[in-house]
Amino acid sequence: MKSIIFNRTFLTAATISLLSSSAFAQKSKVVDNIDLVFHNTTGMLQQIHYAPQPLNDHFSGQVFNEYLQQLDGGKRFFLKSDITRFKEFEWQLDDEMRGKMVQFYKVVNTTFKQRVKEAEGIVTELLAQPFHFNTDEYYNDSPKNILYSKSADDLKSRWKNYLKYQVLTYYDDLVEQKKKDTSNHLTDAQLEAKARETVQRIEKRNIENILKLTVDEEAFNLYLNSIINLYDPHSSYFLPVDRREFQEGMSGIYYGIGALLQDQGGKVSIAELMIGGPAWKSGQVEKGDVLVKVQQGGSSEKTDLAGMAMSDVIKLTRGQKGTTVTITFRKNDGSLKDVTIQREALQMEDTFVKSAIINDSTKIGYISFPKFYTNFGDANGRSCAADMALELEKLKAENVDGIVIDIRDNTGGSLGEVINMVGLFIKEGPVVQVKSAVGAPYVSTVKNNNVVYDGPLVVLVNEMSASAAEIFAAAIQDYHRGIVIGAASTYGKGSVQRGFGVGETKNAYSPETMDLGTIHITLQKYYRITGAATQLKGVAPDILLPGIYEPYKMQEKDNPTALKWDTIKPAPFTVSMHSEEVSRTIAAAGDRIEKDSLLLSLRKNIHWLDNRSSMHSLKLEKYRAEKKQLQQTIATIRKQMVTSDSMTVVNTAYAQEDLKGKEQFRTDSNKAWLNSLRKDLFLSEAILVMQTWFRNKIVNS
């Protein structure tokens, strides 16, 4: 299973296509000041980055390899002879960073542009002839350890292998569709030709996008970020217009499917689903699903999205309120699925803190907490800590026996909010330590006369719980205030970034500063009150559940340039009065979960996905056998993730009353949310842990 990771290269290219001529004029200021921007940026990295790199030949070699990897990770453009010629720069790039004129990326970019244009001809030539899928050949979708081609013929052979696999994928889809469509009388040869046409459109677009990256501004941007990302994955440089468009694009109201799209190598896929949005409510769309075709409601025609720009795909998914769109998705297992979605206004309320009640043998409160949002001092804004306090009060009014807080997929947010959040459960003491590269750490503390909630508490996490979410989980765990349950570790982002302008004052008579872009630099790291960093290792749960994201390799630890894990001096603190109850419950519940046959089977299937071979047969029968095994495994995992015993999940009395005066779409969204909770396997495990806590409390009372 391939990882769902943002491809920075193609996201940048997609942005370019939307820029006006004035935007290019603004970017040209960077081109006119390449050396200034480069040396200002690399200088700031050395001066203020948390872990500055030694500017020596070793780092120069790392930059050399990283830049070439960013340009040609699949090794389908450069020849070995190109790399040999570039090597005259391999040990000089640290000199460029120290003040020497910037030359390396310009030389490489000139050759790269030539090789990309040559590849365009190779692709056209190879796709003009039919492929036959009856020989034992293999395609490796993990080219990390593949060497550069020694000759043009070797390179052409590599392209043929890659293109044949792409065509095989589409050809098999078309054959499957034909079986379901009695009016389809195309021959196998015609289906193969149609598959080649599809791949031709996709690769043409890929080439166009890559060529956009050879424009001066983008070539420099990619080179500079290749250097910056070696400091750590979260530091980066933004061209002036890229940053401004990113900020401006965060506003506006439109009717759509409620999904963030991303471009991955010419294929538009689902990056994120908006909680409560139309796609999310359908229950049939997942992260990583690739959009293949779009059919507007009332139309019998399907628009093939192969080779289409992402901006055009977005236009097709949007429309008038209440209209429908049917999208054909390619699922992670390779199958195709048609999903009809009714467009709605995208409501941000669905991402705020909200609660429900799980009535089983016990009465347990559940709080969904997707993000650490803050009001930024705006009287009309919202604070997640304040919202959490309100939800806790609602649940206390319902006389719940315990509370589960769900921070799965919570990617963090405001540090101030997480400190206030911990203060809802801890009376007083340190919450988190923040340390710069030099000097003593700053310890953030809370002190309350009364906590909002002091009952049994379980925190549900996964591999995508990051940053502020990890600080919250770590504090609850370190104080023994509650039990953390989830995957082997949370994300592992324990660093703090800040943006700095790269421009300089033009002259002594003009205070105006040129906008030459912005660099986000990692300045500090977070540490738990125990002194352990959350960086890289994240938070290991008290009770371990299978990690469904493990095969995707999306965590901090999967990035080779991530900052290291370390420890500092602990901050003095006193564990909560729940400490003994927490320890007994962890021991009892953990023993049960380790032996649970369903969870053991789920782990086994995830392990199979994680270790699936990167070699794929180009022989039709073998390809289909591989595909069938993949589909069966993923289907089994999906089935296992749905608990067989549906839980009784209802709104609080407050929410039920509030919904009476709301629009229909809010009522529908609420129903879909409750239904999603009722059969959530991991939530049911969290409830069982809570019930174990109750039993241990009764026995030892």
Q: Looking at residue 288, which CATH number applies to its domain?
A: 2.30.42.10
Query: What angle is formed at CA 202 by the lines to CA 197 and CA 205, rounded to 5 degrees?
Result: 125
Q: Average the pLDDT over 562-591 and give the result.
A: 95
Q: Based on the fold, state whether residues 333 and 392 are members of the same structural domain.
A: no
Indicate the pLDDT class of residue 698, thresholds 50, 70 and 90.
Answer: low
Q: How far apart are CA 30 and CA 37, in angstroms?
A: 7
Decide which of 698 and 445 is more confident: 445
DSSP-assigned letters across all residues of 460-489:
EE-TT--THHHHHHHHHHHTTSSEEEESS-
Note every long-range contact of 152-159, with CB atoms under 8 Å and residues 24 or more positions apart, other chains counting. 152/79, 155/76, 155/79, 155/122, 156/122, 156/126, 158/75, 158/76, 159/76, 159/119, 159/122, 159/123, 159/126
Q: How far apart are CA 328 and CA 307, in angstroms?
A: 15
Q: Based on the fold, state whether residues 408 and 510 are members of the same structural domain.
A: yes
Q: How far apart are CA 613 and CA 141, in angstroms?
A: 9
Indicate the pLDDT class of residue 437, thresholds 50, 70 and 90.
Answer: very high
39 located within any domain? no
Q: What b/e readout covers 550-575, taking b as 16+ CB neighbours within 10 angstroms? A: bbbbbbbbebeebbebeebeebebee
CB 147 within 8 A of CB 80: yes
Q: Is pLDDT above 90 for 687?
A: yes
Q: Which amino acid is at 53?
A: Q
Q: Which of 345, 379, 395 is the last residue of a domain?
A: 345
**pLDDT mean across residues, the chain:** 88
Asked which of 22-36, 434-448, 681-695 is least confident by mean pLDDT, the reply is 22-36
Phi (first) and psi of residue 336, to 5 degrees: -105, 140
Straight-line distance from the first to the last Cα atom of the chain, in angstroms, rounded to the nearest whole number:
49
Which pLDDT belongs to residue 701? Answer: 55
Q: Based on the fold, state whether residues 318 and 422 are members of the same structural domain.
A: no
273 located within any domain? yes
Question: The tokens 């997707």 sit on which residue?
Answer: 370
CB atoms < 10 A from the CB of 181, how many?
10
Indicate the pLDDT class of residue 380, thresholds 50, 70 and 90.
Answer: low
Phi (first) and psi of residue 280, to 5 degrees: -65, -45
Q: Which amino acid is at 155?
A: L
237 located within any domain? no
Q: How far apart are CA 494 and CA 563, in angstroms?
A: 9
The pair of structure tokens assigned to 265 is 């190598």
Q: Which candidate, 381, 393, 464, places its Cα nearest to that of 417?
A: 381
Q: Is pLDDT above 70 for 31?
A: yes
Q: Based on the fold, state whether residues 105 and 118 are members of the same structural domain.
A: yes
Asked which of 77-86, 311-320, 470-479, 489-498 is least confident by mean pLDDT, the reply is 311-320
Which pLDDT belongs to residue 350? Answer: 63
Q: Based on the fold, state whether residues 339 and 366 are members of the same structural domain.
A: no
Q: Based on the fold, state whether residues 134 and 201 are members of the same structural domain.
A: yes
Q: Average the pLDDT over 349-355 and give the result.
A: 82
Q: What share of the chain is helix, strand, coil (3-state, %, to 5)?
A: 45, 20, 35
Which residue range is the domain that position 321 belongs to?
A: 254-345
Which pLDDT belongs to residue 373? Answer: 86
Q: Based on the fold, state whether residues 260 and 371 are members of the same structural domain.
A: no
Which pLDDT belongs to residue 19? Answer: 30
Q: Which candidate, 286, 265, 288, places its Cα nearest to that of 205?
A: 265
Q: Based on the fold, state whether residues 325 and 353 are members of the same structural domain.
A: no
Which pLDDT belongs to residue 344? Answer: 83
40 located within any domain? no
> Residue 492's domain is classified under what CATH number?
3.90.226.10
Helical axes 152-180 vs 620-640, angle rounded to 10°: 60
DSSP-assigned letters across all residues of 180-213:
H-TT----HHHHHHHHHHHHHHHHHHHHHHHHHT
Indicate the pLDDT class of residue 267, thresholds 50, 70 and 90.
Answer: confident
Per DSSP, the three-state class of 64 is helix
Q: Is pLDDT above 80 for 401?
A: yes
Q: Based on the fold, state whether residues 505 and 455 are members of the same structural domain.
A: yes
Q: Based on the fold, state whether residues 326 and 355 are members of the same structural domain.
A: no
Q: Which of 289, 322, 345 is the last residue of a domain?
A: 345
84 located within any domain? yes
Q: Which of 345, 360, 378 is the last residue of a domain?
A: 345
Q: Which of 119-123, 360-364, 588-592 has the highest mean pLDDT?
A: 119-123
Which pLDDT belongs to residue 6? Answer: 25
Indicate the pLDDT class of residue 504, thresholds 50, 70 and 90.
Answer: low
Q: What is the pLDDT of residues 138-188, one digit of tens each?
A: 999 887 778 999 999 999 999 999 999 999 999 999 999 999 888 888 999
541 located within any domain? yes
Q: Based on the fold, state whether residues 332 and 356 are members of the same structural domain.
A: no
Q: Which amino acid is at 36?
A: L
Query: What angle is formed at CA 156 by the lines to CA 308 and CA 262, rounded to 5 degrees?
Result: 25
Q: How far apart are CA 221 and CA 308, in angstroms?
A: 25
Which pLDDT belongs to residue 120? Answer: 97
9 located within any domain? no
The pair of structure tokens assigned to 390 is 């309100």
Q: Based on the fold, state whether residues 314 and 459 are members of the same structural domain.
A: no
pTM listed for this prediction: 0.84
Which pLDDT belongs to residue 638? Answer: 93
16 located within any domain? no
Number of compact structural domains in the chain: 3
Q: Is pLDDT above 80 for 512?
A: no
Give the strand pairing for 402-406 and 363-368.
Answer: parallel
